[in-house]
Amino acid sequence: MVLLIHPKIPNNFTGTTISAEAAKIWVFGVPFDSTTSYRTGTRKGPDAIREASQQTELYDINTGIDVDSDIGFYDLGDMEIAAGRSEETLERVSDNIENILKHGKMPLMLGGEHSITAGAIMGAARFFGDIKLISFDAHADLRDEYEGNRYNHACVMRRITDIIGRENLLEVGIRSATREEAESFRDRIVFRHECRDMEETKKKILEFAKDANLYVSFDIDALDVAGTGTPQPDGLSYAEMHEFVSQLDAAKKIIGMDLVEVSPVPGNNFTEALAAKLLFQTCAILRKKI
């Protein structure tokens, strides 16, 4: 059974009424921010993204795809989290991802803090076996532990390497890391300044994604935004992100996706609008591999 509170909710992703059977993508939220270390509020991210998605055109002029009629999203609601208990929450995320995959759908998870991606990879790896993860982020998140917690959002990519192996991880856009992270995982990171060599970065992404069962994780702070828990200057531009995402079409299959770390700022809905647009366009670009 899928571990969600609401089978149908009024504030659903896209605001459309497509059936669960017709939709290719099943959406769920994880309003969890128990390990955020700067500004809390990412628990409000899922609903903020949903609201913004209802104000975003469903037709993508770049691809000619209508994400509602040509792909279809069905919103399962928010998962019941275990507040303050990271490992238990990740287990619930894992079960939820695996159950969605068993229904033959691609899971799209709305966060919430980035730690939840480790749970998604646990479930996806159980279902598919050999998988890869590409993460677009400002932060390396490769610490072994932070603030006494090995499941802190600052440790999520380290925990993911424990599950799938470091060779199956690629991080793009990183501009904040400790010396140990930067040196120990140099071969798994494309730093922000390196991304300015667009062709070389696209080549690295394409080679990594080629013929893979690929999970895609977007931390919204990969871009230059204010509505996030730990913002960093000099983010990727939207145009750069669009080019990088286009390389992921080399994958064998896109097995899952998430967008995390949206922390809404009252009176300024730019970040969640950007998140909704990024998800729509990414799904349109990669629709043949979903």
CA 122/CA 13 separation, integer angstroms: 25
Q: Where are the domains of the chain?
A: 25-289
CATH of 25-289, one of 3.40.800.10, 3.40.50.620, 3.40.50.300, 3.40.50.1370: 3.40.800.10
Give me the count of residues in the chain.
290
The two three-digit tokens of residue 275, written as one number: 């998140």
Q: Give the pLDDT confidence score for residue 16 in this predicted structure.
A: 83
**Distance between first and last Cα of the chain:** 23
Q: Give the pLDDT confidence score for residue 248 in this predicted structure.
A: 98
Nearest of 160, 180, 178, 179 to residue 170 by alpha carbon = 160
pTM: 0.95
Report the Cα 8 to chain-centroid distance in Å: 22
Q: Give the pLDDT confidence score for residue 55 in this predicted structure.
A: 94
Strand blocks (E) in 192-287: 213-219, 253-260
Q: Give the pLDDT confidence score for residue 10 in this predicted structure.
A: 62
CA 262/CA 49 separation, integer angstroms: 8
Q: Give the pLDDT confidence score for residue 84 in this predicted structure.
A: 82
Q: Give the pLDDT confidence score for residue 9 in this predicted structure.
A: 56
On whether the CB atoms of residues 158 and 135 are closer than 8 A, the answer is no
pLDDT per residue, tens digit, the chain (290 aa), is 444 544 445 679 998 888 999 999 999 999 999 877 777 889 999 999 999 999 999 999 999 999 999 999 999 999 999 988 989 999 999 999 999 999 999 999 999 999 999 999 999 999 999 999 999 999 999 999 988 888 888 899 999 999 999 999 999 999 999 999 999 999 999 999 999 999 999 999 999 999 999 999 999 999 999 899 899 999 999 999 999 999 999 999 999 999 999 999 999 999 999 999 999 999 999 999 99
The helix or strand, by DSSP H or E, that contains position 53, with its residue range, turns out to be helix 45-53
